Structures are given as structure tokens and as C-alpha cells.
Amino acid sequence: MKSNFLPATSQNYMSQILRVLPMAMLIALPLYSHALPSDANQPIKLLADKATYSERTGITSYSGNVIITQGTLKLTANDITVNLSQQRSINSAVATGRPATMQQVITQEKGLAKGQANKIDYNAVSGIITLTGNAKLVQNGASFAGNVIRYSLKAGDVEATAGGSQRVELVLPPNNSTNQNSIR
């Protein structure tokens, strides 16, 4: 269907963008959806300069060069606060730093994914991780940057939001195949 609002050259340009956009989103969206299944079965190791735990509230705070590892997952921050359920499982965790970082091997083929932000908020119940403040995600040569990046560990969905005069930025590596589609 031809639009009366765009000149023919703009229509061609838009149709090319709309053809490429799904491929770009497929590359960028499943950043953390298929992490190595063995990670969840590994012990959690935590290093920090200071740790405090409140039995009454179920809140544990770690400060000073905090490093948490579990399998290929690594989270580093200045401070991390963990909210535990009554059964002592993690409900949520908030990591802050300049920046707080995380990395994990997604699959052997996709390799290492890295994220960083001023604040990383993990909701274990929903499986949503939110990176806030100078947020960036990088995997397999592609990068996503914005003020806030939310992604679902369960579904692999990613939502990036700009802030102020900043815009969301997605950088995709060139396709090395001989049959390439381009925006032009």
C-alpha cells in the first residue's frame, strides 16, 4: 500500500529499513536469554570488604569492591544489596558502581556478553535485569547503549530508553556473508 505522506524515495528507504530492522532486533535482543544452563547449578561465590545481614528484614548488604561469581556469570560493583525471601532464596539484588558490571557466557557460539551501568537491578522473581545510568550491553560484536536498558532473562526481550538529549544507540557488526542486505 502506497502512502501519500512520503515521497517515493522515502517510501523505498523506509521499506528497506523495515526489512533490515527485524534482523537487527533478532541479533540484538536475545543477549541473555540462553545463558549456559550449568551456571544455575554452580555455587555462588561472593567477595567484599564488608558484609551485613539483617535476619528481621532479610536484607544483606555488601560493600567495597564486591565481586559475585556463579559459573560464567560475574557481577562487580562498589555496593550490592540482596533481598532474601523467608526461604533464603534471592528475591532481588541491586548493584551500584561507577560502573557496576556484569558478564556471562551466553552460549559457546555467542560467547561472552558484557553489561555495565551505574546501577544494575535484578528481579529474580520476574527474571528482569535493569541497567540504569550510562547503560551498555555488548555481545557478539553488537552493542546496545542508552540511559536505561531492561531485559528479560526468560524471554530475551530488550528495551532501551534514552534520557535527556541522549538517544538509544545500536551498533551491529558487518555481515560477513556474500549475500548482504544493506539499508542503502
Which CATH number is 30-171's, of 2.10.210.10, 3.40.190.10, 3.40.50.300, 2.60.450.10? 2.60.450.10
CA distance 127 to 141: 24
pLDDT in tens, 17-74: 334 333 333 333 333 334 566 776 777 788 999 999 888 888 899 999 999 888 887 8
- Tell me which of 7 and 75 has the higher pLDDT: 75
Q: Which of 174, 95, 173 is nearest to 135 (CA)?
A: 95
CA distance 107 to 102: 16
CA distance 116 to 102: 6
Q: pLDDT confidence of 79, banded at 50, 70, 90? A: very high
Cα separations (Å) of 27 from 21, 37, 79, 98, 174?
Answer: 10, 21, 32, 28, 12
- Tell me which of 28 and 94 has the higher pLDDT: 94
Q: In this predicted structure, what is the pLDDT of residue 152? A: 74
pLDDT in tens, 123-173: 877 878 899 999 998 877 888 899 999 877 666 677 889 987 889 998 988
Q: Which of 180, 179, 160, 163 is nearest to 171 (CA)?
A: 160
Contact 46, 75 (CB under 8 A): no
Q: Where are the domains of the chain?
A: 30-171
- Tell me which of 29 and 104 has the higher pLDDT: 104
Look up residue 140 and give its three cell numbers: 557478539
Q: pLDDT confidence of 112, banded at 50, 70, 90? A: confident
Q: pLDDT confidence of 13, banded at 50, 70, 90? A: very low
> Which residue is listed with cell 551498533?
171
Contact 170, 142 (CB under 8 A): yes
Q: Which of 131, 124, 148, 136 is nearest to 28 (CA)?
A: 136
Three-state DSSP string of 3-30: CCCCCHHHHHHHHHHHHHHHHHHHHHCC
User: 103: left (phi > 0), else alpha (psi -120 to 50), else beta?
Assistant: beta
